[in-house]
Structure 1
Amino acid sequence: MRRTAMIHFSRFHSIQSKLTVTFLLILLPLVAVSIFANYYSQRVMNEQIGDRTKGALLTTLEYVDQLSKSMDQQTLLIGSNPNIVDIWSNIDNPLSPEHLYEIHTVQQQLSALTNVNGAVKEAYIVHGESGNGVSTVKGGIKWPDVKREFWFRQTIDARGGLVIYVPTSKYAGRSEYLSDDMIYYVRLLDVLGNNKEPNVMILAVDKLSFRTIIQHLQTTGNTDISLFYNDGFVLETNPLSEESRSKPMFTIKAESGLWSIQLEQPQFELFQLSGNLQRFTYLIILVSVLLAIWMAWLAYIGITKPLHQLSGAFRQFSRGNLTVQVEHKRKDELGFVMNAFNQMAASQRKMIEDDYEKELRLAKAEFSLLQSQINPHFLYNTLDSIYSVASKKKVPEISEMVINLARFFRVSLGKGKDSFTLAETALHLMYYIRVQQIRTDHFTVEIDLAEETKHLPILKLILQPVVENAIVHGLGGSPDEGKLYIRSRIGEAGLLLEVEDTGAGIGEDKLSEIKRELDGITSKTYRISQDSPPTRYYGLKNVKSRIKLFYGEAAELLLYSKQDVGTKVTLVLPLAKEKQA
């Protein structure tokens, strides 16, 4: 995990990454300016389109106001015409036979006046008392509930002012004389008179006249123009579907008096050109970024890639690959550096090869010396044990001790082998343990080897000195019956071999002294120091020297002890070395 993190870190800090980041940083101001300019131009364009559209809407409303003013003048002209007002004054029923001629004359006058303005489709005069009246289209009309109509009451409240009434489907159906396709302009007939019951005149203007006025604002098939009066809907030019309204819409509204107009159009249509410009700007930014990466790659190929090759060769060389060579065809300064590296690697390899055999012979000599030193030492102790038993008991057990001892020596010679499997080592070790058990009958042994460790090869005679110390100095120094444990398992550091006894243990001062002696032994200083007497801690020092020499610096001998409790020695042997043995 740590190695992977270091590789990622080194890649982040590589020259290629730095070149790429540098080129991108150079482009960053240009990209920022481009994006800002694009955003600013989009905003300015939106404002201009909004201002121009609103100006067009206000201009259209002026035409609508002019039409309303024309209707105002028309109704005022009719309402102040004495020839019409006098006929309708002080009569109870305008449709009675005695008034038919006068009503017909009024109808003709209305037709003449309304024909001047082609927007007026129909004109009415309604008698307020009876609800009867006259129409330029229908002739005589009967409107009995006219006084209950909203627009009628509104006209009375206006006291001679013009009332614009836009019926909806909800109210238009209540009367056969009003239609939701018309806009009605209503005024009292006698503006200055004092009739006992007010009479009203009505001019009906087709909504198509208004649609014609606002139709020119519709530029596309998806544009909808809506007209409102006093916040009430009047008409729209192109009702949009729910699907169209679900898309982003550009909406703008303008007001003039009680009239207002609203334009709705999909944004993608209105800003299509600016959207194309925006996409073109993004495309340029993308191409610029790709060019920056491409230029960084070219610089990497020309400059940093050779450096990467050279650094990789140095890493391999530092890991022990002395045959590494940098292949190239360059004739520039980098080529000169690569040639110098190849020459340096070749010289170093030759130097190591010349010294290797000398060091190898020296190491083998040291190894043979260390291994040969242990046999006499062990032999003296064993013979002493046999002598003690023979002197005290003079029993047949001596023969068994001699047989086990002979087997032990036969395996120790090993026919030139330097290592045995752990299972073979344990069997070999039992010959020696049996000799000691016959010598002293107050300890038992328990061997627990993990199944996955039995086939692993280990250096011969590295457990015997430790077991000997445990029996002689540990269990032999305890008056009670003790136990000897020999275990093996696989740990994170490699193969772990444990020899533990429940004997006398080691005091703190002596334990510290032994650890100091052992700490001075490394793979580079494996020769046993001559500063101390040769028999002082000889077994443990010999074992640590041999495992350091054979397994390398990662091998270790760990010592734990507590007085009157027992001692445990743990050998840590790297698995890589064991597999190579």
Structure 2
Amino acid sequence: MKAKRLFFPMRLKFVVLLCGFITAPFLISGIMTYYQYSKNVEEDSISYTNQIINQVSINVDRYINDVDRLTMAPYYDNAVLDILKKHGTPSTSGSYVSSDQMAKMNLMISSLAVDRSEIQGILLFAYDGTLFSNLQNTVSKSWDAAQNDWMKEAEEADGELIVLPPHTGTYYLDEQRQVVSIVRVIRETFTNKHLGIIKVDLTDQGFAKILAGTSTGSTSLVYLTDRQDRVLYPFSSTSAATELTSSTPDFIKATKRSDYTGIQVTGLVRKNEIKEGARSLAQYTLWITVISILIAYIAAGIASGRMVRPIRELQMKMRRVQRGDFAARAKITTSDEMGQMTEGFNVMVSELERLVKEVYESKIRQRDAELDALQSQINPHFIYNTLEAINSLAMDKHQEEISDIAVNLGKLLRYTVERKERFVYLRDELSFVEAYSQIQGSRLGEQIEVEIHVELGHDYLMVPKLILQPFIENAIEHAMGTDKLTVRLHTKIEDDHLIIFVEDNGMGISPEKMQQVEQHIYATPVEHVDRRGFGEKKKGFALRNVHWRLFLLYGEGCGLFIDKNNREGTVFYLRLPLLYEEEEQV
């Protein structure tokens, strides 16, 4: 008698091992320290960023105010105002500018641009189309309102300061330059009549000097936008609009809008950058934690190896059973819950092996009996003799149509009765369908037409016998209306399976009726009981029998299906594996 093994529950084993781990306290303290430190750093960064942005906003106001004084210069030069008055009327034939006028204008404009490297150009737009500038050789002498859409905005401001976002200066001759501009309409002092427009084009150097040294990190971003949230700086940023309008979850965002200029300064600082110190602290704590628990992990791994081994053994046996090997048995090595589970698995597999053999063999015998009974229902010799007599009589009376019917009916009987094999070439099955269709055609005339289109090479694939004729019969029974009925059979290969489509252009199936048909076809033999009385006609069972024959032969994924996406008529399709003669099933 074997000695009884001591019982140690697996739960107790896991609790003992897990209690030895000191991981949880280290992780909790490390996480709490990291998040608290990150929170403090983020709060300090927000405060610092706001201070920087406020200072930048003050500097921008000073810079814009300095440039704005240049736009007021024409008001202090009566000669310039007189010239603008003389060129204040639009002219279609062009305008004449005297050398004296040009000299006075150039003197005033050039004096404004001295020692201002950030100024791209200072321009005075007269309303007769004349353009005055400090750039003699690179700026056009005239302007076209159609190419300067910004003028409408300047006119609407009626003398107020306008800051234009980056745009292309169409009046430059050498290249299309991107500039930010300070614009003001020059008005007559007493009448407020518009005399012209002064425009100061700025490069990005002025803004770059203001923002130099204000960065809070190597990847921080600073943007300037106007009252309409149009980006003023940087000039060529393609992602600025997205970054400024998004929720910027990865950035700390600070903004300040100037009451004087309406320019908003926006600063974006990456959270990852300011949390670098917190990550360094977390890494330091992590190394301490790893070293502290490494020994505990090694010990736990060695101790748990013996406990996990039976689980792996059982897992391997389960995989073998999953692949169909019912002879697999797991070795019992412990007396705990794992040992009891292994013993239960072995008993279950033994019982499953017995049941599978019994059920499978029973199904095979039942299926064979049904197929044999189907083929033996008719006494072939008497019928062959009768058909031969009908054919001879028809030929004597020159009744070729009756003779064709008799010949085709003989082909049908020989195919179903004499040929005992259960698998045939697809071409033989299609010949049977053609013979059946010709018999029905002699009865229905031009009301029905059967078209068969089989891909090259498909006709030598093996299929179960008598799987296509029920579809022709079903179409005649349910799909035929007043118009001509066309039934089309065609094939294709898909994922190592043969797909046979049977389509008709008949009356179709309503959604409610289709649901009933599917329930009838796919109901298992246990769910669907044939309650017909003796001698009653079988109706509606042909397609169901086709599906279950294919399902029992080939398993899941094979059988009869309905195309629910079809809008006209009805489309059935059969799915079965590719089989050649040498692979024929017995």
TM-score range, shorter chain: 0.3 to 0.5
**Which structure dedicates a bigger proportion of its chain to helix?**
1
TM-score (norm 1): 0.42
Q: TM-score normalised to the size of structure 2? A: 0.42
Q: Which has the larger radius of gyration?
A: 1
